[in-house]
Amino acid sequence: MTISKRSFLIHISLLGSLWSFGQGFSDNDYQFLLHLEFISAYDEGVFWLEQKELVLGRTDTTAFHLGMFEYFRKNRASSIRFFEDVTRSNLNFWNISRFYSGLQYAYLGDYAKANQVLMQTDSLSELHAELRKLSLAGLSLLDHNFERFESFQTSFDPNYYQLVDHQQALLDTYHVMRDRKAKSPVIAGVLSAIIPGGGKFYLGKIGQGTMSLMTSTIFALQAYEGYRKDGPKSASFIVFGSIFSIFYVANIWGSVVAVKVENVNFNKTNHDAILLHMHIPIRLLCK
């Protein structure tokens, strides 16, 4: 289906449904929204709902579905704004919007707000109460609050097959994060200053550390040999001494940067895994 045909279909459906829209969505309206979602016509879905609002004004139904389409478009801030317009008068929409808002805030790195929104869920089924617990545990891990994670994890219910794999994945990630001793850029720099390549050895990069040590030693020996033979004005001493100095400083700085990059990559890998295991069950259970 081309864009023009899709747009035509949207406008025809809109004109046909406005006559009987009243205060809610007809079955045909819901089916049409599901169709737009199925074909990933998210832009058209937003347009269609905005036209509905010209007739109805903002309702829980339009706010919720606009939030979902913006979620599909990965417009996180916009999605949150629509979800926040959903009221408690429709408890199903309210609870689902809290789960998705909490997830969006987690992706944006606002863990305090995500926690606040998730705690607004109300009158949950036992399964969805367990989903909230999983989500709050994930937020605790994202915030590196291991004690709070443990308080949720110890009461995980393993009897929900929809959640058990994600519970275990969060627990595994918790052990990895808790047991890792973060490397210090300062220590890496100091070790490289004492022994060229020392920072790389500290990182466990034995091959790179050995190469740095050997290269620095070669330049240092060449500089020393030039100095020993011809004194400080020796061209050999000046050239190899300069190369050694540059390499020495670069090695220190490189070790500092390498530690910072490793720490960032470690955190990103684990944060991505946590978000994934928060995201999948919300998509599965919040419909």
Last residue of a domain, one of 38, 72, 105: 105
**Half-sphere exposure in the Cβ direction for 194 (13 Å, CA):** 11
Same domain, 1 and 99: yes
Token look-up 């879905």 returns 45
Residue 204: inside a domain, yes or no?
yes
- DSSP collapsed to 3 states, the chain: CCHHHHHHHHHHHHHHHHCCCCCCCCHHHHHHHHHHHHCCCHHHHHHHHHHHHHHHCCCHHHHHHHHHHHHHCCCHHHHHHHHCCCCCCCHHHHHHHHHHHHHHHHHHCCHHHHHHHHCCCCCCCHHHHHHHHHHHHHHHHHCCCHHHHHHHHCCCCCCCHHHHHHHHHHHHHHHHHHHCCCCCHHHHHHHHHHCCCHHHHHHCCHHHHHHHHHHHHHHHHHHHHHHHHHCCCCHHHHHHHHHHHHHHHHHHHHHHHHHHHHHHHHHHHHHHHHHHHHHHHHHHHCC
pTM for this predicted structure: 0.81
Q: Range of 235's domain?
A: 185-271
Is 157 within the bounds of a domain? Answer: no
Q: Based on the domain organization, do 2 and 93 belong to the same domain?
A: yes
On whether the CB atoms of residues 165 and 240 are closer than 8 A, the answer is no
Same-domain status, 6 and 97: yes
193, part of any domain: yes
In this structure, the dihedral spanned by the alpha carbons of residues 33, 35, 39 and 44, taken in order and rounded to 10 degrees, is -40
pLDDT, tens digit, 9 for 90 and up, residues 85-105: 999 999 999 999 999 999 999
- Domain boundary, last residue among 56, 90, 105: 105
Q: Could you tell me the mean pLDDT of each successive run of 10 residues in the chain, 287 residues long?
A: 51 48 66 87 90 83 94 96 94 96 98 97 94 98 97 95 97 95 82 80 81 77 73 74 77 83 92 98 94
| Structure tokens, 266 | 């470690």
Are the beta carbons of 135 and 148 closer than 8 angstroms?
no
Domain annotation covers residue 180: no
pLDDT at 185: 84
27 domain residue, yes or no: yes
How many structural domains comprise the chain?
2
Residue 86 lies in a domain: yes
Last residue of a domain, one of 43, 76, 105: 105
Regarding whether 100 and 190 lie in a shared domain, the answer is: no
Q: Does residue 33 fall inside a structural domain?
A: yes
CATH number for the domain that contains residue 88: 1.25.40
In a domain, 64, yes or no: yes
